[in-house]
């Protein structure tokens, strides 16, 4: 874009703000006015204020567990006796012809799961022996065996799964949800991210706000050491000192906002207020040492130690305090080789805490309001990758399993089916766009009405696609 055009665009924007004539606070609102959430517009004074959804919600909060790298659905949830039978045989020619995989290049052999499946609970959902604790709460789960995605490389697939778009620049689910619903807790961010292991390949765009105002972006808490750095005031500075300094900073920023009308300044003012409130709210939130012994035993948590278990317990504490969207990322599920050993290890880290989270939420009466989602960017191939002595599985986009629990989904329910070897969806396919539409629906939002005007379009998380899947809703 040439400089002159840029200048014109800027002029138009400023002029727009001036004419909006709603004073200082109105400036930030103007970008939000374009949306069609008529019942509940975010306001500039408090863009995070709790708002009404389009219709009565089933769930108020979301805890989204993303297993980064993509675990094998065929070894955890999607039991395939036929695949077992065909173990060691070449993948059928008709499937192999024209097939593109991320890594496998030679026509590969099929691999049955080396793990046994068990049916626990009344519904008898088969769950791998690697997840015995999860099996014990399987009656709470709504398994979706027929998810399909468009991408088989990690970063684009992660972006697609979290933002509905495979490239950078789109708001994440948590941002959309906070934009639509606001937050129930003014002392904590409405969208908190907790990570174990390295950050996923797609980076912090997975919790970015894209074109939405940046007030809606996820806030990452550190998993080891202090969860949030620099909460303490400098030596000798009192809380009142800090309050007065922030008052002055915000006053001068208001002067600037009135002059140039950049909504990002309104966001900054709100973020300084949030920072001040977090100084007292976060230490209380993150101190899990006060939790009773039985809770620590249930989750397998150790105060002060970075772990997925600690993050699960924190997720419960966050939703308990009204945080709208809690996103956990756990890295290390990309098992191209040595799947037997690696998957066992990973499951040992997450199985008990996830089951504990579900039971704990249920016991506290929070599970009805909280949608727990377990998923990944894609699944893994029924075909073996690499050495048969230390076999692995490649990336697979055409069919995989995710599950939900609580928040208005059916309990002890399985939706969709894959074919005999778990390669393609055989019944009730659910595309990632449908999954997003359904998730928003559970929160009381219509994915076609949750829009934001950007580049002349009414942008949605589902693009121009997506259908709610009513069959999984209780």
Which chain residues interact with other proteins by CB under 8 A? 1, 167-169, 189, 204-205, 208, 210-211, 214-215, 217, 219-220, 228-238, 241-242, 244-246, 248-249, 251-253, 255-256, 260, 262, 264-265, 267-268, 271-272, 274-275, 278-279, 455
Q: How far is the CB of 61 from other proteins (least distance, A)?
A: 20
As measured in angstroms, the least distance from the Cβ of 287 to other proteins is 18
Q: Is the dihedral of CA 229, 235, 241, 244 positive or negative?
A: negative
Report d(CA 417, CA 78) in Å as an integer.
9
Q: How far is the CB of 258 from other proteins (least distance, A)?
A: 10
In 129-262, which residue ranges form alpha helices assigned H by DSSP? 132-136, 154-163, 173-181, 239-260
Which lies closer to other proteins via its Cβ, residue 88 or residue 169? Answer: 169
Task: Name the minimum Å distance from CB 292 to other proteins.
Answer: 30
Residue nearer to other proteins on the CB measure, 107 or 204? 204
Q: What's the rounded Cα separation, in Å, for the pair 310 and 276? A: 25
Rounded to a whole number of angstroms, the minimum distance from the CB of residue 222 to other proteins is 9
Which candidate, 106, 169, 166, 141, places its Cα nearest to that of 386?
106
**Residue 278's closest CA among 340, 193, 185, 213?**
185
Q: For other proteins, give the closer residue by CB, 193 or 358.
A: 193
Smaller CB distance to other proteins: residue 299 or 452? 452
In the bound complex, what is the minimum distance in angstroms from residue 13's beta carbon to other proteins? 13
Is the C-alpha dihedral spanning 453, 188, 61, 306 positive or negative?
positive
Count of alpha carbons within 13 angstroms of residue 469, beta-carbon side: 22
Q: Which is nearer to other proteins, 43 or 279 (CB)?
A: 279
Chain CA centroid to CA 94, Å: 36
Indicate the residue among 257 and 445 with the shorter CB distance to other proteins.
Answer: 257
Rounded Cα–Cα distance for residues 34 and 214 (Å):
16
Nearer to other proteins, 193 or 414 (CB): 193
User: Within 13 A of 205's CA, how many CA atoms are on the CB side?
Assistant: 20
In whole angstroms, the minimum distance from the beta carbon of 1 to other proteins comes to: 8
456-459: list long-range contacts, CB under 8 Å, 24+ apart.
458/35, 458/36, 459/170, 459/211
In 186-324, alpha helices (H)? 239-260, 263-286, 293-299, 308-320
Q: Please tell me the distance from the alpha carbon of residue 15 to that of residue 149, in angstroms, as a whole number.
A: 43
Cβ-based nearer residue to other proteins, 327 or 381: 327
CB of 187 to other proteins, least distance (A): 11
């Amino acid at each position: 874009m040439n400089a002159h055009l840029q200048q014109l665009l800027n002029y138009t924007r400023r002029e727009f703000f001036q004419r909006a004539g709603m004073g200082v606070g109105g400036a930030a609102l103007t970008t939000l006015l374009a949306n069609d959430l008529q019942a509940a517009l975010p306001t500039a004074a408090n863009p995070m204020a709790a708002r009404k959804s389009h219709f009565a919600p089933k769930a108020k909060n979301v805890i989204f567990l993303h297993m980064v790298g993509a675990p094998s659905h065929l070894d955890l949830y999607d039991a395939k006796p036929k695949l077992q039978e065909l173990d060691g045989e070449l993948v059928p020619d008709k499937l192999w012809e024209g097939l593109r995989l991320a890594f496998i290049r030679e026509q590969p052999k099929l691999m049955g799961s080396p793990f046994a499946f068990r049916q626990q609970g009344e519904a008898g959902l088969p769950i791998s022996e690697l997840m015995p604790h999860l099996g014990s709460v399987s009656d709470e789960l709504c398994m979706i065996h027929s998810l399909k995605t468009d991408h088989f490389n990690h970063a684009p697939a992660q972006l697609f799964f979290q933002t509905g778009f495979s490239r950078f620049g789109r708001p994440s689910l948590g941002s959309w949800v906070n934009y639509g619903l606001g937050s129930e807790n003014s002392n904590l961010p409405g969208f908190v991210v907790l990570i174990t292991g390295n950050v996923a390949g797609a980076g912090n765009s997975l919790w970015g706000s894209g074109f939405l105002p940046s007030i809606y972006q996820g806030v990452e808490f550190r998993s080891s050491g202090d969860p949030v750095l620099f909460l303490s005031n400098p030596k000798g500075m009192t809380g009142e000192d800090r309050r007065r300094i922030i008052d002055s900073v915000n006053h001068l920023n208001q002067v600037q906002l009135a002059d140039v009308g950049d909504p990002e300044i309104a966001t900054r003012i709100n973020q300084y207020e949030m920072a001040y409130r977090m100084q007292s709210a976060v230490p209380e939130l993150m101190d899990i040492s006060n939790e009773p012994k039985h809770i620590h035993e249930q989750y397998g948590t150790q105060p002060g130690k970075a772990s997925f278990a600690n993050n699960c317990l924190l997720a419960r504490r966050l939703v308990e305090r009204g945080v709208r969207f809690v996103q956990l990322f756990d890295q290390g599920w990309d098992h191209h080789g040595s799947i037997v050993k690696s998957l066992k290890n990973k499951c040992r880290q997450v199985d008990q805490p996830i089951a504990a989270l579900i039971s704990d939420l249920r016991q506290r009466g929070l599970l009805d309001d909280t949608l727990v989602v377990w998923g990944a960017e894609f699944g893994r191939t029924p075909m073996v990758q690499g050495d048969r002595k230390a076999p692995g599985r490649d990336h697979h986009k055409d069919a995989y399993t995710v599950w939900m629990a609580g928040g208005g989904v059916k309990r002890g329910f399985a939706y969709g089916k894959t074919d005999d070897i778990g390669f393609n969806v055989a019944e009730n396919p659910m595309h990632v766009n449908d999954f997003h539409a359904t998730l928003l629906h559970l929160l009381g939002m219509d994915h076609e009405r949750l829009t934001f005007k950007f580049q002349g379009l009414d942008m949605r998380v589902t693009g121009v696609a997506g259908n709610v899947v009513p069959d999984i809703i209780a």
